[in-house]
């Protein structure tokens, strides 16, 4: 197991963090560069550990937030039809269950291009999105959504409370896991949330990550990897209570956590069910997490061996989906253009650039079809059904997909 060169303390409770997996030197996961760029790349050590006190799984080194979330941040939540449908459902749920009060107010932390708030806006409900990346914030504003280009924290939340009054719902999707300063977030929630309101966030679930060996969910933007136990401990540490959980299929497996002020609501049976499931599987045990680390090494070795064999046989191998999480795979496994010729992606901001660290060219979907490759490595495996349906002709012409979740195989 890796040596721990310095003591790392938990960002939630201050307990000691035991490292269980080192994924090596990694770049910023969304820093897609121009091919001719000579500017130095930012790298950091990507390692993950578990707090011995509150069981929170977290990175041992954080990246300054301004380096990750900025004007050129390329991810758009509305880029997937599956995610558009998901967020519309989330919004309708809030409208039906939490916003049926006079002049309701909902706030979203990290609203991206406004894909969830669009439904809220169409319903005529007062809302506000916090989004520090101005490029995607402008995409939201273009739909008539109210957005504040700022990070959600104690100061900014208190300012909104003074101007707009309390929020019945504060929501975050794939955002809370990004934030290594939870105390300021919870102080902000405390300042802005109505007495009987809810703080709801959904993020990748540690249980799915371990079960699927989906180590690519670990990257710079995912500072925390939440479980039911660790979220309950975090909530209680800041004076809140975990009152509901929902398992979600999106993004390879997530959980939606609903928090309320301590004593304000009765926890649902789903909370006890998830905690019991985690106890039975030993999810919070360091031994379980170290076994996961061993499985990651096996997947790395199997994937590299397969790609080397296919290239030695003269096959054209490309990748599909220039995802943020693919940076972890390519850099940890040492996969560059010599093994994967290019990555196909539908995001214009990533096209004609190169991937972080390993500099694989990113091309538009038209390149995937001209001509079709022999094999396609599925980086965007969490959107496999959507992608495979769109690229059915690839399979009909003899093309084969490669997956590495939960293990390496040709589909």
**Which pLDDT does position 2 carry in this prediction?**
44
Average pLDDT, the chain: 93
Q: How far apart are CA 190 and CA 262, in angstroms?
A: 11
The 10s digit of each residue's pLDDT in 267-291 is: 999 999 999 999 999 999 999 999 9
Closest to 108 in 3D by CA, of 88, 127, 125: 127
**Least-confidence region, from 78-87, 126-135, 357-366:** 78-87
Q: CB–CB of 57/21 below 8 Å?
A: no
How distant, in Å, are the alpha carbons of 10, 83, 212, 367, 388 from that of 396? Answer: 50, 27, 28, 17, 11
- Mean pLDDT across 161-187: 95
The string of pLDDT tens digits covering residues 301-326 is 999 999 999 999 999 999 999 999 99
Per-residue model confidence (pLDDT) at position 67: 66
CA-to-CA distance for 399 and 395, rounded, in angstroms? 5
For 126, residues 6+ apart whose C-beta sits below 8 A from its C-beta are 103, 104, 105, 106, 164
Residue 259 has pLDDT above 60, yes or no: yes
For residue 57, what are the β-bridge partners?
A: 50, 225
Mean pLDDT confidence for 289-305 = 98
Q: Which of 196, 241, 199, 242 is nearest to 101 (CA)?
A: 196
Write down the pLDDT at residue 4.
46
- The CA distances from residue 378 to 48, 325, 389, in Å, are 24, 12, 13
Per-residue pLDDT tens digits for 15-66: 999 999 999 999 999 899 999 998 899 999 999 999 999 999 999 999 876 6
What is the C-alpha separation between 96 and 292, in angstroms, rounded?
40
* pLDDT digits 0-9 by tens, 368-402: 998 999 999 999 998 898 899 999 999 999 999 99
CA 43 to chain centre: 19
Cis check: omega of the bond before 406, within 30 degrees of 0? yes
- Residue range 62-101, pLDDT digits in tens: 987 666 654 555 556 666 788 899 999 999 999 999 998 8
SS3 state at 343: strand
Question: Can you give the pLDDT at residue 137?
Answer: 87
* 66 to 31, 73, 132: CA distances (angstroms): 12, 10, 9
């Amino acid at each position: 197991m890796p040596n721990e060169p310095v003591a790392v303390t938990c960002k939630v409770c201050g307990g000691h963090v035991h490292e269980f997996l080192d994924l090596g030197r990694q770049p910023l996961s969304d820093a897609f560069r121009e091919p001719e760029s000579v500017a130095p790349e930012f790298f950091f050590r990507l390692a993950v550990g578990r707090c011995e006190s509150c069981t929170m799984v977290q990175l041992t080194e954080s990246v300054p937030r301004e380096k990750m979330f900025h004007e050129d941040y390329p991810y758009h939540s509305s880029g997937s039809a599956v995610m558009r449908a998901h967020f519309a459902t989330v919004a309708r749920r809030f409208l039906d269950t939490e916003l049926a009060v006079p002049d309701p107010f909902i706030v979203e932390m990290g609203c991206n291009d406004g894909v969830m708030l669009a439904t809220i806006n169409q319903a005529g409900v007062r809302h506000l999105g916090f989004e520090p990346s101005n490029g995607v914030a402008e995409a939201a504003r273009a739909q008539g959504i109210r957005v504040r280009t700022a990070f959600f924290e104690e100061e900014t939340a208190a300012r909104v409370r003074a101007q707009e009054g309390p929020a019945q719902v504060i929501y975050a999707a794939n955002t809370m896991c990004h934030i290594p300063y939870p105390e300021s977030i919870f102080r902000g929630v405390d300042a802005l949330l109505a007495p009987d309101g809810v703080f709801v966030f959904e993020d990748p679930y540690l249980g799915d990550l371990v079960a699927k060996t989906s180590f690519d969910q670990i990257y710079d933007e995912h500072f925390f990897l939440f479980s039911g136990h660790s979220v309950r401990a975090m909530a209680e540490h800041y004076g809140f209570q975990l009152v509901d959980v929902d398992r979600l299929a999106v993004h390879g497996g997530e959980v939606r956590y609903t928090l309320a002020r301590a004593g304000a609501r009765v926890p649902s049976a789903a909370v006890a069910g998830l905690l019991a499931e985690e106890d039975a599987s030993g999810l919070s045990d360091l031994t379980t997490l170290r076994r996961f680390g061993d499985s990651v090494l096996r997947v790395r070795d199997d994937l590299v061996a397969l790609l080397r064999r296919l290239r030695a046989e003269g096959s054209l191998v490309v990748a599909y989906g220039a995802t943020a999480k693919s940076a972890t795979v390519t850099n940890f496994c040492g996969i560059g253009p010599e093994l994967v010729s290019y990555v196909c992606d539908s995001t214009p901001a990533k096209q004609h650039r190169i991937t972080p660290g390993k500099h694989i060219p990113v091309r538009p979907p038209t390149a995937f079809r001209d001509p079709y490759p022999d094999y396609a490595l599925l980086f965007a495996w969490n959107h496999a059904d959507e992608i495979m349906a769109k690229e059915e002709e690839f399979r009909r012409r003899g093309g084969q997909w490669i997956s590495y979740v939960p293990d390496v195989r040709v589909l």
